[in-house]
Protein backbone atom coordinates (compact mmCIF):
# COMPACT_ATOMS: atom_id res chain seq x y z
CA UNK A 1 0.00 0.00 0.00
CA UNK A 2 0.85 3.67 -0.33
CA UNK A 3 2.93 5.02 2.55
CA UNK A 4 3.74 8.53 3.70
CA UNK A 5 5.23 10.47 6.59
CA UNK A 6 2.41 12.72 7.83
CA UNK A 7 3.38 16.39 8.02
CA UNK A 8 6.71 15.88 6.26
CA UNK A 9 5.77 18.40 3.56
CA UNK A 10 6.15 21.11 6.22
CA UNK A 11 9.77 20.21 7.03
CA UNK A 12 11.30 21.75 3.89
CA UNK A 13 13.94 19.00 3.81
CA UNK A 14 14.71 15.70 2.17
CA UNK A 15 14.10 12.47 4.08
CA UNK A 16 17.08 10.99 5.93
CA UNK A 17 17.13 7.20 5.89
CA UNK A 18 16.59 4.92 7.68
CA UNK A 19 14.88 7.19 10.24
CA UNK A 20 12.34 8.55 7.73
CA UNK A 21 11.21 5.06 6.75
CA UNK A 22 10.46 4.37 10.41
CA UNK A 23 8.06 7.33 10.48
CA UNK A 24 6.06 6.13 7.46
CA UNK A 25 2.48 4.98 7.89
CA UNK A 26 0.34 3.02 5.41
CA UNK A 27 -2.52 4.82 3.67
CA UNK A 28 -5.11 2.21 2.78
CA UNK A 29 -8.42 2.92 1.07
CA UNK A 30 -11.04 1.08 -0.98
CA UNK A 31 -10.35 0.03 -4.57
CA UNK A 32 -10.84 2.91 -7.00
CA UNK A 33 -10.05 5.61 -4.45
CA UNK A 34 -8.02 8.71 -5.19
CA UNK A 35 -5.14 9.83 -2.98
CA UNK A 36 -4.10 13.47 -3.42
CA UNK A 37 -1.16 14.96 -1.55
CA UNK A 38 1.32 17.84 -1.58
CA UNK A 39 4.35 17.18 -3.78
CA UNK A 40 6.79 17.69 -0.89
CA UNK A 41 5.15 14.99 1.23
CA UNK A 42 7.60 12.13 1.77
CA UNK A 43 5.89 9.17 0.18
CA UNK A 44 6.48 5.71 -1.21
CA UNK A 45 4.92 2.28 -1.13
CA UNK A 46 5.27 -0.91 0.85
CA UNK A 47 5.86 -4.11 -1.15
CA UNK A 48 2.67 -5.50 -2.65
CA UNK A 49 1.66 -8.81 -1.10
CA UNK A 50 -1.89 -9.14 -2.48
CA UNK A 51 -2.43 -10.83 -5.84
CA UNK A 52 -3.37 -8.73 -8.84
CA UNK A 53 -2.21 -5.55 -10.45
CA UNK A 54 -1.72 -2.22 -8.67
CA UNK A 55 -2.15 0.74 -11.02
CA UNK A 56 -0.87 4.20 -10.17
CA UNK A 57 -1.48 7.37 -12.14
CA UNK A 58 0.77 10.24 -11.11
CA UNK A 59 -0.16 13.79 -11.97
CA UNK A 60 0.95 17.19 -10.81
CA UNK A 61 -0.12 20.74 -11.49
CA UNK A 62 2.18 23.69 -11.96
CA UNK A 63 1.98 27.30 -13.08
CA UNK A 64 2.56 27.71 -16.82
CA UNK A 65 5.73 29.72 -16.10
CA UNK A 66 7.34 26.84 -14.18
CA UNK A 67 9.44 24.36 -16.15
CA UNK A 68 8.08 20.79 -15.98
CA UNK A 69 10.08 18.47 -13.73
CA UNK A 70 9.81 15.59 -16.21
CA UNK A 71 10.50 15.53 -19.94
CA UNK A 72 7.15 13.91 -20.75
CA UNK A 73 7.08 14.78 -24.47
CA UNK A 74 10.33 12.90 -25.10
CA UNK A 75 9.78 9.97 -22.74
CA UNK A 76 6.08 9.10 -23.08
CA UNK A 77 5.38 6.49 -25.80
CA UNK A 78 3.69 8.36 -28.69
CA UNK A 79 1.72 5.27 -29.68
CA UNK A 80 -0.06 5.34 -26.30
CA UNK A 81 -0.94 9.02 -26.72
CA UNK A 82 -2.27 8.36 -30.22
CA UNK A 83 -4.29 5.35 -29.02
CA UNK A 84 -6.45 7.19 -26.46
CA UNK A 85 -10.02 8.40 -27.11
CA UNK A 86 -8.95 12.01 -27.67
CA UNK A 87 -5.26 12.13 -28.67
CA UNK A 88 -5.15 15.89 -29.25
CA UNK A 89 -6.56 16.73 -25.82
CA UNK A 90 -4.20 14.22 -24.18
CA UNK A 91 -1.18 15.72 -25.94
CA UNK A 92 -2.21 19.20 -24.81
CA UNK A 93 -2.71 18.10 -21.19
CA UNK A 94 0.60 16.20 -21.19
CA UNK A 95 2.47 19.23 -22.52
CA UNK A 96 3.53 17.69 -25.83
CA UNK A 97 3.39 21.12 -27.48
CA UNK A 98 5.61 22.80 -24.91
CA UNK A 99 9.39 23.02 -25.25
CA UNK A 100 11.37 21.18 -22.61
CA UNK A 101 14.85 22.27 -21.62
CA UNK A 102 16.94 19.86 -19.62
CA UNK A 103 18.25 21.04 -16.27
CA UNK A 104 21.98 21.60 -16.84
CA UNK A 105 22.78 23.33 -13.56
CA UNK A 106 21.90 22.26 -10.03
CA UNK A 107 18.72 23.80 -8.70
CA UNK A 108 19.63 26.51 -6.16
CA UNK A 109 18.22 26.21 -2.67
CA UNK A 110 16.39 29.18 -1.24
CA UNK A 111 17.68 30.52 2.03
CA UNK A 112 15.07 30.26 4.73
CA UNK A 113 14.52 33.73 6.18
CA UNK A 114 14.35 34.14 9.93
CA UNK A 115 13.53 37.17 12.04
CA UNK A 116 17.24 37.71 12.68
CA UNK A 117 18.35 37.85 9.03
CA UNK A 118 15.44 39.46 7.18
CA UNK A 119 14.81 42.61 9.16
CA UNK A 120 11.55 41.24 10.56
CA UNK A 121 12.20 41.74 14.26
CA UNK A 122 9.25 42.49 16.53
CA UNK A 123 6.65 41.17 14.08
CA UNK A 124 7.47 43.67 11.32
CA UNK A 125 7.41 42.50 7.72
CA UNK A 126 10.51 42.64 5.57
CA UNK A 127 9.00 44.81 2.81
Q: What is the pLDDT of residues 96-124, one digit of tens each?
A: 777 666 656 665 666 655 545 444 444 44
Tens digit of pLDDT for each residue in 49-60? 888 887 777 777
For residue 87, being part of any structural domain is answered with yes
Tens digit of pLDDT for each residue in 69-95? 677 777 778 888 888 888 888 888 777
d(CA 90, CA 56): 18
d(CA 40, CA 125): 26
Q: Are residues 45 and 3 in the same domain?
A: yes
Q: Which domain holds residue 87?
A: 65-105
Q: Are residues 13 and 46 in the same domain?
A: yes
Q: Are residues 53 and 86 in the same domain?
A: no
For residue 119, being part of any structural domain is answered with no
Please state the pTM of the whole predicted model: 0.53
Where are any strands of DSSP class E within the chain? 2-4, 25-27, 43-45
Q: Are residues 8 and 48 in the same domain?
A: yes
- Among 48, 49, 32, 35, CA closest to 6: 35
Amino acid sequence: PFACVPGSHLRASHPVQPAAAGEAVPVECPRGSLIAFHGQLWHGAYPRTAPGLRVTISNYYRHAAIQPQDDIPNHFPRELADDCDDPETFKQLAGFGLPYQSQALPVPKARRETASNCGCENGQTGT
